[in-house]
Amino acid sequence: MLFNLTLPTLISRIITLLLAFTFHEFAHAATATALGDSTPRNHGRLTLNPIAHLDPMGTITLLFAGFGWAKPVPVNPYAVQRKTNAGMMLVSLAGPATNLLLAVLAAMPLRFGWVPLRASTSAFLPSMGTFLLEFLSINLALFFFNLIPLAPLDGEKVVTYFLPDHWVEFYDRIRPYSPLILLAVVFLLPMFGIDLIGLIIRRPMNSLALFLIGR
């Protein structure tokens, strides 16, 4: 993807990641704060300043590979769960839900014809339609990717809230290995022709994107 990356696409991705990652992490911080946890505020994460949230490696990966990550927001699980047993699930779900909301907002001008979908793009700047499609796609990719039920992704906290106790114990046992499992799914399995990321992210992402823009 690196060699096919045009300047308009790169510009679209830079703007998108600044917004998508910032709002994603701010949503985590704001939800935790609303549930009585002062940790995000104390660590300077209750802010819409992108510098507070961006992770250098995750940013580079998103620019050139199409997926990435930001710095996780520190949360005190005991503080948020004093308010409700669903505290950590709600904090975790807030990030992906925000990316989905951003995708829906980006799709509206395309769906209702307020912005032409196929307007020409200059050599330097993306058309509004091109930018909105990139913004829509990346936010949907972040939505589905973060819901993968493996730590350190948000989906692990979401799914374990709804699982019976014996499955939670299983997740507790595999949690130390979850990052390695995730790396294997993303990078190793495709070398053997097993594209789980395509199955659980790209296919539903493309289907939802087409639905949102009315195609």
pLDDT tens-digit series, residues 78-134:
999 999 999 999 999 999 999 999 999 999 999 999 998 776 666 678 889 889 999
| 25 noted as active-site residue | yes
What pLDDT score was predicted for residue 136?
96
Euclidean distance between CA atoms 26 and 88, whole angstroms: 15
In angstroms, rounded to a whole number, what is the distance separating the alpha carbons of residues 141 and 159? 19
Q: Which residues of the chain have pLDDT under 50?
A: 1-3
Residue 183's CB is within 10 A of a number of other CB atoms, namely 11
DSSP 70: B
Q: Can you state the percent helix, strand and coil of the chain, rounding each to 5?
A: 70, 0, 30
Do residues 197 and 144 touch, judged by C-beta distance below 8 A?
no
Separation between Cα atoms, residue 10 and residue 2, nearest integer Å: 10
**Long-range contacts of 193-201, Cβ-Cβ distance < 8 Å, separation of 24 or more:** 200/144, 200/148, 201/67, 201/141, 201/144, 201/145
Q: Which of 118, 182, 187, 122 is nearest to 155 (CA)?
A: 182
Burial classification of residue 29, based on how many CB atoms lie within 10 Å of its CB (0-12 exposed, 13-18 middle, 19 or more buried): buried
Residues 99/142, Cβ–Cβ less than 8 Å = yes
> Which position among 25, 134, 156, 169 bears the catalytic label?
25
For residue 165, the model assigns a pLDDT of: 83
Cα–Cα distance for residue pair 196/187, rounded to 1 Å: 10
C-beta neighbour count of 194 within 10 angstroms = 13
Query: Which pLDDT score, from 0 to 100, does residue 63 have?
Result: 64
Angle 29-204-27 from CA coordinates, rounded to 5°: 10
CA distance linking residue 25 with residue 71, whole number of Å: 8
Whole-structure pTM value = 0.89
**Number of helices (H), then strands (E), in the chain:** 11, 0
pLDDT of residue 119: 65
Give the pLDDT score at 106: 97
